[in-house]
Protein backbone atom coordinates (compact mmCIF):
# COMPACT_ATOMS: atom_id res chain seq x y z
CA UNK A 1 0.00 0.00 0.00
CA UNK A 2 1.09 3.54 -0.58
CA UNK A 3 1.37 5.70 2.48
CA UNK A 4 -0.82 8.75 2.89
CA UNK A 5 2.24 10.92 2.54
CA UNK A 6 2.85 9.61 -0.98
CA UNK A 7 -0.38 11.17 -2.26
CA UNK A 8 -1.06 14.29 -0.20
CA UNK A 9 -4.43 15.94 -0.47
CA UNK A 10 -3.89 19.42 -1.75
CA UNK A 11 -7.19 20.53 -0.29
CA UNK A 12 -6.10 19.81 3.28
CA UNK A 13 -5.16 22.77 5.43
CA UNK A 14 -2.68 22.67 8.29
CA UNK A 15 -5.55 22.12 10.68
CA UNK A 16 -6.62 19.19 8.53
CA UNK A 17 -3.35 17.47 9.37
CA UNK A 18 -5.01 16.34 12.60
CA UNK A 19 -6.52 13.45 10.66
CA UNK A 20 -3.11 12.33 9.48
CA UNK A 21 -1.96 12.06 13.08
CA UNK A 22 -4.55 9.34 13.56
CA UNK A 23 -3.43 7.37 10.54
CA UNK A 24 -0.25 5.95 11.99
CA UNK A 25 0.78 4.40 15.36
CA UNK A 26 3.63 4.77 17.86
CA UNK A 27 5.04 1.80 19.70
CA UNK A 28 4.09 3.26 23.06
CA UNK A 29 0.38 3.24 22.31
CA UNK A 30 0.09 0.35 19.87
CA UNK A 31 -1.50 -2.20 22.16
CA UNK A 32 -4.62 -0.61 23.58
CA UNK A 33 -7.56 1.63 22.81
CA UNK A 34 -5.69 4.66 21.52
CA UNK A 35 -6.80 5.79 18.05
CA UNK A 36 -3.63 4.38 16.53
CA UNK A 37 -1.56 7.52 16.41
CA UNK A 38 1.12 7.13 13.74
CA UNK A 39 0.03 3.61 12.64
CA UNK A 40 1.40 2.83 9.19
CA UNK A 41 -0.89 -0.17 9.00
CA UNK A 42 -4.02 1.96 9.11
CA UNK A 43 -3.59 4.79 6.68
CA UNK A 44 -6.99 6.29 6.13
CA UNK A 45 -6.33 7.15 2.52
CA UNK A 46 -3.77 4.47 1.82
CA UNK A 47 -4.28 2.94 -1.63
CA UNK A 48 -2.80 -0.48 -2.17
CA UNK A 49 -0.36 -0.83 -5.09
CA UNK A 50 -0.79 -3.97 -7.09
CA UNK A 51 1.89 -5.80 -9.03
CA UNK A 52 -0.16 -5.58 -12.20
CA UNK A 53 -0.59 -1.79 -11.99
CA UNK A 54 0.38 -0.23 -15.32
CA UNK A 55 -0.46 2.91 -17.27
CA UNK A 56 -3.80 4.63 -16.79
CA UNK A 57 -6.54 3.43 -19.09
CA UNK A 58 -8.85 5.69 -20.95
CA UNK A 59 -12.32 6.55 -19.70
CA UNK A 60 -14.04 4.82 -22.59
CA UNK A 61 -12.17 1.59 -21.84
CA UNK A 62 -13.28 1.73 -18.20
CA UNK A 63 -16.91 1.91 -19.18
CA UNK A 64 -16.60 -1.17 -21.38
CA UNK A 65 -15.18 -3.35 -18.59
CA UNK A 66 -17.46 -5.67 -16.67
CA UNK A 67 -17.52 -5.88 -12.88
CA UNK A 68 -15.32 -8.99 -12.91
CA UNK A 69 -12.87 -7.77 -15.58
CA UNK A 70 -9.21 -7.25 -14.71
CA UNK A 71 -8.46 -3.53 -15.06
CA UNK A 72 -5.04 -2.38 -16.18
CA UNK A 73 -4.65 -0.30 -13.03
CA UNK A 74 -6.30 -0.16 -9.64
CA UNK A 75 -6.31 2.83 -7.31
CA UNK A 76 -8.14 2.50 -4.02
CA UNK A 77 -9.93 5.74 -3.32
CA UNK A 78 -10.26 7.25 0.11
CA UNK A 79 -13.26 5.83 1.92
CA UNK A 80 -16.29 8.05 2.15
CA UNK A 81 -16.66 6.98 5.77
CA UNK A 82 -13.33 8.50 6.81
CA UNK A 83 -13.43 11.20 9.50
CA UNK A 84 -13.22 14.85 8.66
CA UNK A 85 -10.33 16.81 10.15
CA UNK A 86 -12.57 18.83 12.48
CA UNK A 87 -13.89 15.63 14.08
CA UNK A 88 -10.82 15.29 16.32
CA UNK A 89 -11.16 17.59 19.32
CA UNK A 90 -9.58 15.45 22.04
CA UNK A 91 -6.34 13.56 22.61
CA UNK A 92 -5.47 9.94 22.00
CA UNK A 93 -4.91 9.28 25.70
CA UNK A 94 -8.39 10.57 26.50
CA UNK A 95 -9.91 8.14 23.99
CA UNK A 96 -7.91 5.29 25.49
CA UNK A 97 -8.96 6.10 29.06
CA UNK A 98 -12.58 6.68 28.09
CA UNK A 99 -12.98 3.38 26.24
CA UNK A 100 -11.22 1.41 28.97
CA UNK A 101 -13.48 2.96 31.62
CA UNK A 102 -16.56 2.29 29.50
CA UNK A 103 -15.71 -1.38 28.89
CA UNK A 104 -14.82 -1.97 32.54
CA UNK A 105 -17.87 -0.06 33.76
CA UNK A 106 -20.31 -2.25 31.84
CA UNK A 107 -18.56 -5.35 33.19
CA UNK A 108 -19.12 -4.01 36.71
CA UNK A 109 -22.79 -3.42 35.87
CA UNK A 110 -23.15 -7.01 34.67
CA UNK A 111 -21.49 -8.24 37.86
CA UNK A 112 -23.83 -6.19 40.05
CA UNK A 113 -26.92 -7.41 38.20
CA UNK A 114 -25.99 -11.08 38.54
CA UNK A 115 -25.09 -10.54 42.20
CA UNK A 116 -28.49 -9.03 42.96
CA UNK A 117 -30.46 -11.83 41.28
CA UNK A 118 -28.33 -14.97 41.61
CA UNK A 119 -30.05 -16.04 44.83
CA UNK A 120 -33.16 -16.86 42.79
CA UNK A 121 -32.86 -20.49 41.75
CA UNK A 122 -35.65 -21.57 39.43
CA UNK A 123 -36.09 -25.28 38.95
CA UNK A 124 -34.66 -26.68 35.74
CA UNK A 125 -33.55 -30.02 34.40
CA UNK A 126 -30.18 -28.57 33.39
CA UNK A 127 -26.97 -30.09 34.73
CA UNK A 128 -25.97 -28.27 37.93
CA UNK A 129 -22.71 -29.99 38.62
CA UNK A 130 -21.56 -32.47 41.23
CA UNK A 131 -22.83 -31.45 44.68
CA UNK A 132 -20.17 -30.38 47.17
CA UNK A 133 -20.51 -31.21 50.86
CA UNK A 134 -20.75 -28.14 53.09
CA UNK A 135 -17.95 -29.34 55.35
CA UNK A 136 -15.58 -29.21 52.39
CA UNK A 137 -16.20 -25.49 51.90
CA UNK A 138 -14.76 -22.72 54.03
CA UNK A 139 -16.44 -19.40 54.74
CA UNK A 140 -14.37 -17.89 51.98
CA UNK A 141 -15.68 -20.55 49.58
CA UNK A 142 -19.28 -19.80 50.54
CA UNK A 143 -18.64 -16.09 49.97
CA UNK A 144 -17.08 -16.66 46.54
CA UNK A 145 -19.88 -18.95 45.39
CA UNK A 146 -22.48 -16.49 46.64
CA UNK A 147 -20.87 -13.48 44.96
CA UNK A 148 -20.22 -15.17 41.59
CA UNK A 149 -23.13 -17.64 41.53
CA UNK A 150 -24.73 -15.95 38.51
CA UNK A 151 -21.62 -16.70 36.48
CA UNK A 152 -21.93 -20.49 36.88
CA UNK A 153 -25.24 -21.19 35.21
CA UNK A 154 -26.22 -23.43 32.29
CA UNK A 155 -23.20 -24.23 30.06
CA UNK A 156 -20.86 -22.61 32.59
CA UNK A 157 -21.49 -25.57 34.89
CA UNK A 158 -20.22 -27.91 32.17
CA UNK A 159 -17.13 -25.76 31.63
CA UNK A 160 -16.23 -25.69 35.32
CA UNK A 161 -16.95 -29.41 35.69
CA UNK A 162 -14.63 -30.24 32.77
CA UNK A 163 -11.97 -27.95 34.24
CA UNK A 164 -12.15 -29.81 37.55
CA UNK A 165 -12.91 -33.42 36.56
CA UNK A 166 -12.12 -33.44 32.82
CA UNK A 167 -14.54 -35.28 30.51
CA UNK A 168 -16.75 -37.62 32.57
CA UNK A 169 -20.17 -37.48 30.92
CA UNK A 170 -21.02 -38.03 27.28
CA UNK A 171 -22.84 -34.73 26.85
CA UNK A 172 -19.68 -32.90 27.98
CA UNK A 173 -18.06 -33.86 24.68
CA UNK A 174 -20.03 -31.06 23.01
CA UNK A 175 -17.76 -28.57 24.81
CA UNK A 176 -14.28 -28.14 23.42
CA UNK A 177 -11.28 -28.32 25.79
CA UNK A 178 -9.20 -25.16 25.36
CA UNK A 179 -11.25 -22.87 27.61
CA UNK A 180 -11.77 -25.29 30.53
CA UNK A 181 -8.12 -26.36 30.34
CA UNK A 182 -7.06 -22.71 30.40
CA UNK A 183 -9.13 -22.26 33.55
CA UNK A 184 -7.53 -25.35 35.06
CA UNK A 185 -3.97 -24.26 34.27
CA UNK A 186 -4.48 -20.74 35.60
CA UNK A 187 -6.04 -22.09 38.81
CA UNK A 188 -3.14 -24.46 39.34
CA UNK A 189 -0.72 -21.59 38.81
CA UNK A 190 -2.06 -19.35 41.56
CA UNK A 191 -4.35 -21.38 43.81
CA UNK A 192 -2.39 -24.58 44.49
CA UNK A 193 -1.02 -23.40 47.89
CA UNK A 194 -4.46 -22.14 48.98
CA UNK A 195 -6.12 -25.43 48.03
CA UNK A 196 -3.35 -27.50 49.64
CA UNK A 197 -3.67 -25.74 53.01
CA UNK A 198 -7.48 -25.85 52.94
CA UNK A 199 -7.96 -22.10 52.58
CA UNK A 200 -9.83 -22.44 49.29
CA UNK A 201 -11.74 -25.22 47.59
CA UNK A 202 -10.72 -26.08 44.05
CA UNK A 203 -14.19 -25.18 42.74
CA UNK A 204 -13.81 -21.65 44.11
CA UNK A 205 -10.39 -21.27 42.50
CA UNK A 206 -11.76 -22.41 39.14
CA UNK A 207 -14.67 -19.98 39.33
CA UNK A 208 -12.40 -17.04 40.14
CA UNK A 209 -10.03 -18.01 37.33
CA UNK A 210 -12.89 -18.28 34.83
CA UNK A 211 -14.19 -14.81 35.71
CA UNK A 212 -10.68 -13.32 35.57
CA UNK A 213 -9.93 -14.89 32.18
CA UNK A 214 -13.17 -13.57 30.72
CA UNK A 215 -12.62 -10.07 32.07
CA UNK A 216 -9.10 -9.85 30.68
CA UNK A 217 -10.08 -11.36 27.32
CA UNK A 218 -13.07 -9.04 27.00
CA UNK A 219 -10.97 -5.92 27.51
CA UNK A 220 -8.32 -7.18 25.10
CA UNK A 221 -10.98 -8.13 22.52
CA UNK A 222 -12.40 -4.60 22.71
CA UNK A 223 -8.96 -3.18 21.94
CA UNK A 224 -8.51 -5.51 18.95
CA UNK A 225 -12.03 -4.70 17.71
CA UNK A 226 -11.12 -1.02 17.78
CA UNK A 227 -8.17 -1.73 15.50
CA UNK A 228 -10.23 -3.89 13.11
CA UNK A 229 -12.97 -1.30 12.69
CA UNK A 230 -10.42 1.50 12.39
CA UNK A 231 -8.59 -0.48 9.70
CA UNK A 232 -11.68 -1.47 7.72
CA UNK A 233 -13.66 1.77 7.96
CA UNK A 234 -10.74 4.27 8.10
CA UNK A 235 -12.75 6.01 10.81
CA UNK A 236 -11.88 6.64 14.46
CA UNK A 237 -15.50 7.65 15.05
CA UNK A 238 -16.81 4.30 13.87
CA UNK A 239 -14.14 2.48 15.87
CA UNK A 240 -15.15 4.27 19.08
CA UNK A 241 -18.85 3.59 18.44
CA UNK A 242 -18.07 -0.07 17.74
CA UNK A 243 -16.34 -0.44 21.11
CA UNK A 244 -19.29 1.25 22.84
CA UNK A 245 -21.63 -1.24 21.18
CA UNK A 246 -19.32 -4.12 22.09
CA UNK A 247 -19.20 -3.09 25.74
CA UNK A 248 -23.02 -3.19 25.97
CA UNK A 249 -23.74 -5.91 23.42
CA UNK A 250 -26.88 -8.07 23.76
CA UNK A 251 -24.87 -11.13 24.82
CA UNK A 252 -23.03 -9.31 27.62
CA UNK A 253 -23.68 -11.87 30.35
CA UNK A 254 -21.92 -14.60 28.36
CA UNK A 255 -18.75 -12.51 28.16
CA UNK A 256 -18.55 -12.45 31.97
CA UNK A 257 -19.97 -15.86 32.92
CA UNK A 258 -17.83 -19.00 32.64
CA UNK A 259 -18.58 -19.30 28.93
CA UNK A 260 -16.19 -19.40 25.98
CA UNK A 261 -17.39 -16.11 24.45
CA UNK A 262 -14.63 -13.76 25.67
CA UNK A 263 -11.71 -16.08 24.91
CA UNK A 264 -13.17 -17.12 21.57
CA UNK A 265 -13.87 -13.51 20.64
CA UNK A 266 -10.31 -12.44 21.44
CA UNK A 267 -8.77 -15.28 19.43
CA UNK A 268 -11.06 -14.68 16.44
CA UNK A 269 -10.58 -10.91 16.41
CA UNK A 270 -6.80 -11.31 16.76
CA UNK A 271 -6.74 -13.74 13.84
CA UNK A 272 -8.67 -11.28 11.70
CA UNK A 273 -6.43 -8.41 12.73
CA UNK A 274 -3.30 -10.33 11.77
CA UNK A 275 -4.74 -10.84 8.31
CA UNK A 276 -5.59 -7.15 7.98
CA UNK A 277 -2.41 -5.49 9.20
CA UNK A 278 0.44 -5.31 6.71
CA UNK A 279 3.53 -4.48 8.75
CA UNK A 280 4.88 -8.00 8.26
CA UNK A 281 5.10 -10.46 5.34
CA UNK A 282 1.81 -12.12 4.54
CA UNK A 283 3.14 -15.61 5.24
CA UNK A 284 4.03 -14.62 8.83
CA UNK A 285 0.59 -13.06 9.34
CA UNK A 286 -0.98 -16.09 7.71
CA UNK A 287 0.68 -18.46 10.20
CA UNK A 288 -0.21 -16.21 13.14
CA UNK A 289 -3.86 -16.04 12.12
CA UNK A 290 -3.94 -19.82 11.63
CA UNK A 291 -2.63 -20.27 15.17
CA UNK A 292 -5.32 -17.95 16.57
CA UNK A 293 -8.08 -19.62 14.55
CA UNK A 294 -6.83 -23.07 15.56
CA UNK A 295 -7.04 -22.11 19.23
CA UNK A 296 -10.47 -20.60 18.58
CA UNK A 297 -11.56 -23.93 17.07
CA UNK A 298 -10.17 -25.71 20.15
CA UNK A 299 -12.38 -23.36 22.15
CA UNK A 300 -15.63 -23.71 20.22
CA UNK A 301 -16.78 -25.88 17.34
CA UNK A 302 -17.93 -23.01 15.13
CA UNK A 303 -14.33 -21.81 15.08
CA UNK A 304 -13.88 -24.04 12.05
CA UNK A 305 -15.64 -21.53 9.81
CA UNK A 306 -12.97 -18.95 10.65
CA UNK A 307 -10.86 -20.71 8.03
CA UNK A 308 -13.06 -18.85 5.56
CA UNK A 309 -11.24 -15.66 6.57
CA UNK A 310 -7.89 -17.26 5.82
CA UNK A 311 -9.12 -18.49 2.45
CA UNK A 312 -10.55 -15.09 1.54
CA UNK A 313 -7.44 -13.11 2.44
CA UNK A 314 -5.23 -15.69 0.73
CA UNK A 315 -7.32 -15.12 -2.37
CA UNK A 316 -6.83 -11.37 -2.01
CA UNK A 317 -3.07 -11.74 -1.57
CA UNK A 318 -2.87 -14.19 -4.46
CA UNK A 319 -4.70 -11.87 -6.85
CA UNK A 320 -3.08 -8.57 -5.92
CA UNK A 321 0.45 -10.02 -5.88
CA UNK A 322 0.19 -11.81 -9.23
CA UNK A 323 1.66 -10.41 -12.41
CA UNK A 324 -0.82 -11.10 -15.25
CA UNK A 325 2.09 -11.06 -17.68
CA UNK A 326 3.50 -14.18 -15.98
CA UNK A 327 0.51 -16.27 -14.89
CA UNK A 328 2.74 -19.32 -14.41
CA UNK A 329 4.14 -17.63 -11.30
CA UNK A 330 0.80 -17.95 -9.52
CA UNK A 331 0.97 -20.22 -6.49
CA UNK A 332 -1.70 -21.48 -4.11
CA UNK A 333 -0.40 -21.07 -0.56
CA UNK A 334 -3.12 -22.84 1.36
CA UNK A 335 -4.65 -26.28 1.26
CA UNK A 336 -8.18 -27.41 1.75
CA UNK A 337 -8.81 -28.07 5.46
CA UNK A 338 -10.10 -31.34 6.74
CA UNK A 339 -13.21 -30.57 8.82
CA UNK A 340 -13.90 -32.12 12.20
CA UNK A 341 -17.64 -32.44 12.79
CA UNK A 342 -19.13 -32.96 16.24
CA UNK A 343 -22.72 -34.17 16.30
CA UNK A 344 -24.94 -32.66 18.97
CA UNK A 345 -28.25 -34.02 17.73
CA UNK A 346 -28.72 -36.33 20.71
CA UNK A 347 -28.79 -33.58 23.34
CA UNK A 348 -29.43 -30.27 21.54
CA UNK A 349 -31.54 -31.24 18.48
CA UNK A 350 -28.73 -30.09 16.19
CA UNK A 351 -29.81 -31.35 12.76
CA UNK A 352 -31.40 -29.96 9.63
CA UNK A 353 -34.82 -28.55 10.65
CA UNK A 354 -34.36 -30.30 14.00
CA UNK A 355 -35.19 -27.08 15.83
CA UNK A 356 -38.32 -26.31 13.81
CA UNK A 357 -40.89 -27.05 16.49
CA UNK A 358 -43.90 -25.03 17.60
CA UNK A 359 -42.60 -24.82 21.16
CA UNK A 360 -39.38 -23.26 19.83
CA UNK A 361 -41.12 -20.25 18.26
CA UNK A 362 -40.15 -18.00 21.23
CA UNK A 363 -36.52 -18.94 20.61
CA UNK A 364 -36.75 -17.75 17.00
CA UNK A 365 -38.41 -14.53 18.18
CA UNK A 366 -35.60 -13.98 20.67
CA UNK A 367 -33.08 -14.26 17.85
CA UNK A 368 -35.12 -12.10 15.43
CA UNK A 369 -33.15 -8.87 16.09
CA UNK A 370 -29.88 -10.67 15.36
CA UNK A 371 -31.33 -12.03 12.11
CA UNK A 372 -32.38 -8.48 11.22
CA UNK A 373 -28.86 -7.14 11.87
CA UNK A 374 -27.43 -9.78 9.52
CA UNK A 375 -30.00 -9.03 6.80
CA UNK A 376 -29.51 -5.27 7.13
CA UNK A 377 -25.73 -5.58 7.02
CA UNK A 378 -25.81 -7.97 4.06
CA UNK A 379 -27.92 -5.51 2.09
CA UNK A 380 -25.53 -2.65 2.89
CA UNK A 381 -22.53 -4.76 1.91
CA UNK A 382 -24.13 -5.68 -1.40
CA UNK A 383 -24.64 -2.02 -2.29
CA UNK A 384 -21.11 -1.10 -1.21
CA UNK A 385 -19.58 -3.99 -3.15
CA UNK A 386 -21.54 -3.28 -6.31
CA UNK A 387 -20.60 0.39 -6.18
CA UNK A 388 -16.93 -0.54 -6.66
CA UNK A 389 -15.64 -0.14 -10.21
CA UNK A 390 -14.61 -3.79 -10.40
CA UNK A 391 -14.34 -6.93 -8.34
CA UNK A 392 -10.58 -6.39 -8.05
CA UNK A 393 -11.09 -2.90 -6.66
CA UNK A 394 -13.08 -4.61 -3.92
CA UNK A 395 -10.32 -7.15 -3.27
CA UNK A 396 -7.71 -4.40 -3.24
CA UNK A 397 -9.49 -2.99 -0.19
CA UNK A 398 -9.29 -6.38 1.56
CA UNK A 399 -12.83 -7.14 0.50
CA UNK A 400 -14.38 -4.21 2.38
CA UNK A 401 -17.13 -5.84 4.51
CA UNK A 402 -17.52 -8.90 2.30
CA UNK A 403 -15.66 -11.57 4.35
CA UNK A 404 -17.40 -10.54 7.57
CA UNK A 405 -20.78 -10.50 5.82
CA UNK A 406 -20.31 -13.98 4.39
CA UNK A 407 -19.25 -15.25 7.81
CA UNK A 408 -22.33 -13.72 9.48
CA UNK A 409 -24.69 -15.05 6.79
CA UNK A 410 -23.26 -18.54 7.25
CA UNK A 411 -23.93 -18.37 11.01
CA UNK A 412 -27.43 -16.97 10.49
CA UNK A 413 -28.38 -19.71 8.03
CA UNK A 414 -27.04 -22.31 10.45
CA UNK A 415 -29.16 -20.87 13.26
CA UNK A 416 -32.20 -20.74 11.02
CA UNK A 417 -32.03 -24.29 9.69
CA UNK A 418 -29.69 -26.39 11.83
CA UNK A 419 -28.80 -25.49 15.41
CA UNK A 420 -30.51 -23.66 18.27
CA UNK A 421 -31.83 -20.41 16.83
CA UNK A 422 -31.57 -18.43 20.06
CA UNK A 423 -27.79 -18.87 20.26
CA UNK A 424 -27.34 -16.70 17.17
CA UNK A 425 -27.32 -13.59 19.38
CA UNK A 426 -24.27 -14.60 21.37
CA UNK A 427 -22.61 -16.34 18.42
CA UNK A 428 -22.94 -13.30 16.17
CA UNK A 429 -21.78 -10.75 18.73
CA UNK A 430 -18.88 -12.89 19.98
CA UNK A 431 -17.68 -14.45 16.73
CA UNK A 432 -17.55 -11.61 14.24
CA UNK A 433 -16.84 -7.88 13.98
CA UNK A 434 -19.68 -7.74 11.46
CA UNK A 435 -22.51 -6.43 13.70
CA UNK A 436 -20.24 -3.76 15.16
CA UNK A 437 -19.00 -2.69 11.72
CA UNK A 438 -22.53 -2.48 10.33
CA UNK A 439 -24.14 -0.70 13.27
CA UNK A 440 -21.22 1.69 13.82
CA UNK A 441 -21.26 2.66 10.14
CA UNK A 442 -25.00 3.31 10.21
CA UNK A 443 -24.81 5.30 13.46
CA UNK A 444 -21.89 7.36 12.18
CA UNK A 445 -23.57 8.25 8.90
CA UNK A 446 -26.76 9.57 10.49
CA UNK A 447 -24.83 11.66 13.03
CA UNK A 448 -22.38 13.60 10.81
CA UNK A 449 -22.37 16.59 13.17
CA UNK A 450 -21.04 14.59 16.13
CA UNK A 451 -17.47 15.35 17.15
CA UNK A 452 -15.15 13.03 19.02
CA UNK A 453 -15.80 14.57 22.44
CA UNK A 454 -19.56 14.20 21.85
CA UNK A 455 -19.12 10.43 22.00
CA UNK A 456 -18.00 10.74 25.63
CA UNK A 457 -21.28 12.08 27.03
CA UNK A 458 -23.65 11.62 28.72
CA UNK A 459 -22.67 9.05 31.33
CA UNK A 460 -23.18 6.21 32.10
CA UNK A 461 -24.11 5.27 28.51
CA UNK A 462 -22.29 7.85 26.38
CA UNK A 463 -23.55 8.63 22.90
CA UNK A 464 -26.10 5.79 23.00
CA UNK A 465 -28.34 7.81 25.33
CA UNK A 466 -28.18 10.75 22.94
CA UNK A 467 -28.50 8.59 19.85
CA UNK A 468 -31.74 6.87 20.94
CA UNK A 469 -33.60 10.21 20.94
CA UNK A 470 -33.20 10.75 17.22
CA UNK A 471 -36.06 8.54 16.04
CA UNK A 472 -37.80 5.18 16.22
CA UNK A 473 -35.08 2.99 14.61
CA UNK A 474 -32.47 4.52 16.89
CA UNK A 475 -34.66 3.99 19.95
CA UNK A 476 -35.34 0.37 18.98
CA UNK A 477 -31.61 -0.32 18.71
CA UNK A 478 -31.05 1.22 22.15
CA UNK A 479 -33.96 -0.79 23.55
CA UNK A 480 -32.56 -3.99 22.03
CA UNK A 481 -29.17 -3.45 23.65
CA UNK A 482 -30.50 -2.46 27.06
CA UNK A 483 -33.23 -5.10 27.34
CA UNK A 484 -30.88 -7.92 26.41
CA UNK A 485 -28.14 -6.52 28.65
CA UNK A 486 -30.29 -6.03 31.77
CA UNK A 487 -32.98 -8.67 31.48
CA UNK A 488 -30.69 -11.17 29.81
CA UNK A 489 -28.24 -10.91 32.70
CA UNK A 490 -30.93 -11.23 35.36
CA UNK A 491 -32.67 -14.13 33.62
CA UNK A 492 -29.40 -16.00 33.19
CA UNK A 493 -28.46 -15.46 36.84
CA UNK A 494 -31.83 -16.87 37.97
CA UNK A 495 -31.50 -20.09 35.91
CA UNK A 496 -34.04 -18.84 33.38
CA UNK A 497 -33.38 -19.59 29.68
CA UNK A 498 -31.80 -16.76 27.68
CA UNK A 499 -30.18 -17.43 24.29
Residue-range definition of the domain harbouring residue 285: 110-126+134-324+357-494
Closest of 384, 368, 377, 380 to residue 407, by C-alpha = 377
Residue 58 resides in a domain: no
| Alpha carbon distance, N-terminus to C-terminus of the chain | 42
CB 286 within 8 A of CB 314: yes
Q: What is the pTM of this model?
A: 0.79
What are the φ and ψ backbone dihedral angles of 131, each rounded to 5 degrees?
-60, 145
Q: pLDDT tens digits, residue range 364-402?
A: 899 999 999 999 999 988 887 777 656 666 665 655 788
Please check whether residue 186 lies inside any domain of the structure: yes
User: Do the domain assignments include residue 139?
Assistant: yes
Q: In sequence order, what E strands does 223-316 have?
A: none
pLDDT at 5 over 90: no
Rg (CA), the chain: 24
| Helix pair angle (434-445, 402-417), 10° resolution | 120
Asked whether residue 249 is domain-assigned, the answer is yes
As to burial, measured by CB atoms within 10 angstroms (0-12 exposed, 13-18 middle, 19+ buried), residue 49 is: middle
Is residue 72 over pLDDT 60? no
Residue 490, CA distances (Å) to 112, 115, 284 in order: 10, 9, 44
What angle in degrees, to the nearest 10, is found between the helix axes of 261-276 and 178-196? Answer: 130
Q: Please write the tens of the pLDDT for every residue from 185-231.
A: 999 999 999 999 999 999 999 999 999 999 999 999 999 999 999 99
- Whether residue 155 lies inside any domain: the answer is yes
For residue 152, tell me if it sits in a domain.
yes
**Residue 442: band (very low, low, confident or very high) from pLDDT cuts 50, 70, 90:** very high
**Residues in contact with 143: Cβ distance below 8 Å, sequence separation at least 6, in sequence order:** none
* pLDDT at residue 89 greater than cutoff 90: no
Specify if 446 maps to a domain: yes
Look at 342 and 119; give whichever has higher pLDDT: 119
Alpha helices in 432-471 (DSSP H): 434-445, 464-467
* The dihedral sign for the CA sequence 399, 433, 156, 290: positive
Mean pLDDT of 268-287: 89
Q: How many domains is the chain built from?
A: 1
Dihedral pair phi/psi, residue 38, rounded to 5°: 60, 50
In a domain, 31, yes or no: no
Amino acid sequence: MNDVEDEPDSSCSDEGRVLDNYAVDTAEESDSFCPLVNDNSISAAAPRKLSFEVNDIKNEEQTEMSYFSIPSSITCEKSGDADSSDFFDTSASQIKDFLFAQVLGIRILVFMLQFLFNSWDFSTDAFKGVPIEDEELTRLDHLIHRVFAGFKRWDAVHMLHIAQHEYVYENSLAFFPFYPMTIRILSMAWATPFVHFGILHVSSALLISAVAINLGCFIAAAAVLYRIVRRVSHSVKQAVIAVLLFSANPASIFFSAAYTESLYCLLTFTGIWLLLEDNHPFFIRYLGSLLCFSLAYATRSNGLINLGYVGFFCLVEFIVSTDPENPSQRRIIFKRPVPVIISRAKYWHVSLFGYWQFRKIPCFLMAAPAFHVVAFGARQTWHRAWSKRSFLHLLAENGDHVPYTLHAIFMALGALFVYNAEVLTRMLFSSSPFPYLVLAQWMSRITPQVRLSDLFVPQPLPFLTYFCRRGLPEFLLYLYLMVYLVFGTTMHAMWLPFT
